[in-house]
A and B are shown apart, each in its own frame.
Chain A
Amino acid sequence: MIKNDLGRKIMFVLLALLIIVTAIIIIVRRIDLKEEEGPRVVREVPGEIRTVTLFFANSNADGLLSETRDITSEGGLENEVKQVIAALLAGPEDKKGVSAIPVGTEINRVFRVEDKETVYLDFNRALVSNHTGGSAGEYYTIKMILKTIEVNFPQVAKVQFIVAGYPVNTIAGHYKVDTPLSVRKWR
């Protein structure tokens, strides 16, 4: 009887061990899977994720650098453009990149009128009033936005800059921006 009890105890211990080990395995594997998925892998997010390319200037003001971001692909072209511009305004992640968009600039709205190939970008006054000047600075303010639109939205041919509801002649006194600019040909 004593031996039997001992056997039962051993078996009970073994079974308990088995349950604990199995539980640990399940938990560990779940954690593993989560870790494996990491930030770079497709995440389980409702809606579609779209990877977009943003363009910033380099520190010498003689070229563009690209970075990628994920946006949610919903709400039509206007919404996607707005998300992309907002991501541009947030600035580069890479230290080599330089944002040529003035501090405090916000995008109020993005819309199209009859001409579906032209996108109107309505910024707040900071785009003009906070601009620190210099033609290189102004050139890349415009170029960063046009290049980003060109690459991510092939259906858009032109961009019209609007500041607080109205078109402006120039952003910082050099480049003509009072009419829509061709995203592919502007310079």
Chain B
Amino acid sequence: MDNKNISNRYKMLFAGILVVAAVFLAVHPCRAQIIAKENEEVKTLGVVFADGRKTEDISLFKIESDSDELFISAYDLARIFKATKYWKPGRKRLVVKIAAKKYIFTLDTRVVMIENQPVLLRMPVRYSDGFVMIPLEFIRDILAKSRVEKVDFDEKRLVLTIGAPSYNVTGIIFDESIEGTRAVLTLTDELLYHVDNEIPGLLRLKIYGGKLNTLKISATEGKGLFKRVRAEQTEYDSYLFFEVEQSASSFRVEFMGPADEDSGGRKLVIFLEKGELPEIPDADFAGRKMVEILQASAGEYRKIEVKRIIIDPGHGGPDYGRISESGVEEKQVNLEISEMLKRMLIERLGVEVVLTRRTDKLVPLDQRGEIANVQNGDIFISIHCNGWFKPEAGGFETFFLAPARNEEESHQAAHENSSIRFENPGLDPEKLDELNFILWDMVQNEFINESSKLAELIQKSLDDRVSIRNRGVRQAGFRVLRGLKMPAVLVEVAFLSNPREEKLLLDNRFRKKVCEGIVEAVRRFREKDMIVEGR
């Protein structure tokens, strides 16, 4: 009995131990989870994408209690690098493919296989709180140094830049001499620009189609007559605001020499001279001939003759344009505003006006340009109303044609035009002459400075008169503006999809303000002395 009792007691003890072990096991994962939950986000990694994706803040975690190494989740890693990833569950392996290079991580080990070559990390890869966690040193020491992806890692600020930045305004330096101070901008391409100093002590430089690193430019310290520079980037254009000293007398802007012999970029130089900064008569000339305008004695001047204006009421016939919620048709509003504008231009400026359509009919886009060219217009203004999918979008904007600038595009234009020639055997024989051969896209290039100037004037003049949002001047590939042999703009008066603006568009007082604004802009455009290239 005693023996049996003793053996039973052992058995019970044994069973007891098993139960305790089981309970421990049951509790263990919970403990692991509690620890994992303590892996709270300790820092954030700022990720800047050069490809236009929005800047993101990514959580970084501290996982190992005895190390300060930060970890990033494999989910975030794959996402920010647009990587392909897959999980091999049996072998606890995570395969991540970044820019065609394969990285294989194994859980709880420090080995990363890079294209079958093992590399040791200082910390192991972990699985924690539902995520595979990869030590940040993978980005810092492997990705940033491998040059597979263009990656820039700023360890101090914890900022990661991914991708090749496609900046075309790449840098700025200031240098000082006895006469004044120069700001030298490096551009990859000869871009169109626009300078004004409407606000005293401030020079505003707008670079059409510019892309720049605002932080880098704004962090450049001013020198001499330039107190400070601040850069802003919009979706389409770059702006540079220069705060200048009172003692600056005049400025000139010009392109000078190649920026760099290898890259073949261009230098845009803003030169400030000492003395009082004079009131420059609306120095809002867009383009590279700024220099001649400000050097009053040099250069030839001529007044732009504006005798005949072509107004193009957008859409028409079966092409309704935008139709508002309440059934207002854009084509009708465009036509009515165009007619009012015509009357006002004739009355106030004494010019001739030709409409590309006077009734509700369809005029093909190419034909509108032909009408304008055949009629020998001096300015082309296309009138449109805008439309959007949500009621909140609103405002007015003025466009001019984005030029075909590079060789590839002009080749393409040439190719297109050769087909136009075959399609239109009845075309004026002079136009078919190889020597006079017109590259349609390039034709408008010739007037790009004047077009941008007219667009800026219209936008400013409308801004003085109407209370809706100013959406700015933009360049775009509008078909109707192609091939025009005159300065040409397209005005989006307001949004028919915005209930408030729809009411305004139907209100004669608003229409009158818009027309007055355009008339005033044309008047100012006509009064300007300017040097015109190639005419």
**A interface residues, Cβ below 8 angstroms from B:** 3-4, 7-8, 10-11, 14-15, 17-18, 21-22, 24-25, 28-29, 32, 35-38, 40-45, 47-53, 55, 57, 59-66, 68, 73, 98-100, 132-137, 139, 147, 150-152, 169-170, 173-176, 179, 182, 184-187
Stretch of B21-29, B63-71, B198-206, B272-280 with 4 or more beta carbons under 8 angstroms from chain A: B21-29
Q: Please provide the 7 A-B residue pairs with the shortest distance between their CB atoms, ordered closest to farther.
A: A134-B387, A36-B130, A133-B322, A7-B8, A42-B87, A176-B479, A61-B393
Alpha-carbon distance A131/B497, docked complex (angstroms): 13
Chain B residues with CB under 8 Å of A51's CB are 78-79, 82-83, 85
Which of B9-17, B220-228, B446-454, B456-464 contacts its partner? B9-17
Q: Given A42-B74, A59-B392, is A132 in contact with B323 using a C-beta cutoff of 8 Å? A: yes
Query: How many angstroms from the CA of A65 to the CA of B235 in the assembled complex?
Result: 12
Is there an interface contact between B236 and A187, defined as CB atoms closer than 8 Å?
Answer: yes
Min CB gap B265→A, angstroms: 17
Contact B323 A133 (CB under 8 A): yes
Task: Return A87 CB to nearest CB of chain B, in Å.
Answer: 14
CA distance A176 to B97 in the complex (A): 38
Query: How far, in whole Å, are A8 and B131 apart by their CA atoms in the complex?
Result: 46
Q: Which residues of A contact B412 (CB under 8 A)?
A: 179
Name B90's closest neighbour in chain A (CB-CB).
A44
> Is B418 part of the contact surface with A, judged by Cβ < 8 Å?
no
Distance between Cα atoms of A182 and B399 in the complex (Å):
19
CB contacts (< 8 Å) of B236 on chain A: these are 187
Are B389 and A137 interface neighbours, CB within 8 A? Answer: yes
Q: Of residues 93 to 127 in B, which have CB atoms within 8 Å of A's CB atoms? A: 94, 97
User: Of B235, B402, B480, which one neighbours A62 at CB under 8 angstroms?
Assistant: B235
Say whether B94 contacts A42, CB under 8 Å: yes
C-alpha spacing A10/B428, complex, angstroms: 110
Q: Which residue of chain B is the closest to A147 with respect to CB atoms? A: B52
Contacts of B386 in A (CB 8 A): 134-136
Query: Distance (Å) between the CB of A140 and the closest chain B CB?
Result: 8
Residue of A nearest to B7 (CB): A7
Contact: B130 with A37, CB < 8 Å? yes
Chain B residues with CB under 8 Å of A59's CB are 390, 392-393
Q: Would B402 and A60 count as touching, CB distance under 8 A? A: no
Q: B320 interface residue, CB < 8 Å from A?
A: yes
Nearest-neighbor residue (CB-CB) of B316 within chain A: A173
A175-B479 in contact (CB<8A)? yes
Q: How far is the CB of A72 from chain B (nearest CB, A)?
A: 10
Q: Are A187 and B130 in contact (CB under 8 A)?
A: no
A21 near B12 with CB under 8 A, answer: no
Min CB gap B330→A, angstroms:
7
Q: How many residues of chain B have a CB within 8 Å of chain A?
A: 78
B82 touches A176 (CB 8 A): no
Known A14-B16, A175-B477; contact A41-B75, beta-carbon cutoff 8 A: yes
**Residue B531 is within 8 A (CB to CB) of chain A in the complex:** no
Interface of chain A, helix or strand or loop or mixed?
A: mixed
Cα(A44)–Cα(B51), bound, Å:
30
Given contacts A11-B8, A66-B53, contact A175 B19 (CB under 8 A): no
B496 contacts the other chain (Cβ, under 8 Å)? yes
Complex contacts, A187 vs chain B, CB 8 Å: 209, 236, 402, 474-477
Report whether A169 and B26 are in contact in the complex, using a CB–CB cutoff of 8 Å: no
**How many Å lie between the Cα of A65 and that of B390 in the bound state?**
15
Please give, as numbers and ranges, the residues of chain B lying within 8 Å of A41 by CB-CB distance: 75, 130-132
- The distance from the CB of B44 to the nearest CB of chain A, in whole angstroms, is 17
Knowing A21-B26, A134-B386, A175-B476 touch, does A53 contact B53 (C-beta < 8 A)? yes
CA distance A20 to B530 in the complex (A): 93
A102 smallest CB distance to B (angstroms)? 9
CA A3 to CA B51, docked complex, whole Å: 80
Contact pattern, B 390-428, Cβ under 8 Å of A = 1, otherwise 0: 101100000100100000010010001000000000000
Residues from chain A with Cβ under 8 Å of B485 in the complex: none
Q: Which residues of B contact A35 (CB under 8 A)?
A: 130
A25 vs B75: C-alpha distance when bound (angstroms): 28
State whether A136 and B5 are in contact (beta carbons under 8 Å apart), knowing that A41-B130, A48-B85 are contacts in the complex.
no
B130 near A18: Cβ-Cβ < 8 Å: no
Q: Distance in Å from the Cβ of B403 to the closest Cβ of chain A?
A: 11
Would you call B389 and A176 a contact (CB within 8 A)? no
> Is there an interface contact between B87 and A18, defined as CB atoms closer than 8 Å?
no
* A50 in contact with B84 (CB, 8 Å): yes
Let me know if B4 is at the binding interface, CB within 8 A: yes
A3 to B9, CA, bound (A): 11
* CB within 8 Å for A68 and B79 given contacts A42-B74, A136-B388, A173-B314: yes
Residues from chain B with a CB closer than 8 A to the CB of A136 are 386-388, 393, 492, 495
In the complex, chain B residues whose CB is within 8 Å of the CB of A62: 235, 393, 471
Q: With a CB–CB cut-off of 8 A, which chain B residues contact A66?
A: 52-54
Bound complex: CA of A99 vs CA of B389, how far in Å? 8
Q: Which B residues are CB-close (under 8 A) to A186?
A: 477
B468 interfacial contact with A, CB 8 Å: no
A73 touches B84 (CB 8 A): yes
Contact between chains at A14 and B479 (CB < 8 Å)? no
Is B171's CB within 8 Å of the partner chain A? no
21 A-B interface contacts by CB (under 8 A): A11-B12, A14-B15, A14-B16, A21-B23, A25-B26, A35-B130, A37-B130, A51-B82, A55-B52, A100-B389, A133-B322, A134-B496, A135-B399, A135-B478, A135-B490, A136-B388, A152-B82, A173-B315, A173-B365, A176-B479, A187-B475
Known: A61-B393, A134-B322, A136-B387. A3 touches B5 (CB 8 A): yes
Known: A21-B19, A60-B390, A134-B386. 6 other contacts (CB 8 A): A4-B4, A65-B54, A66-B54, A134-B322, A151-B51, A152-B82
State the CA gap A38–B131 with chains docked (Å): 9
Q: Residues of A contacting B378 with CB < 8 Å?
A: none
Question: Could you tell me the distance in whole angstroms from the C-beta of A54 to the nearest C-beta in chain B?
Answer: 10
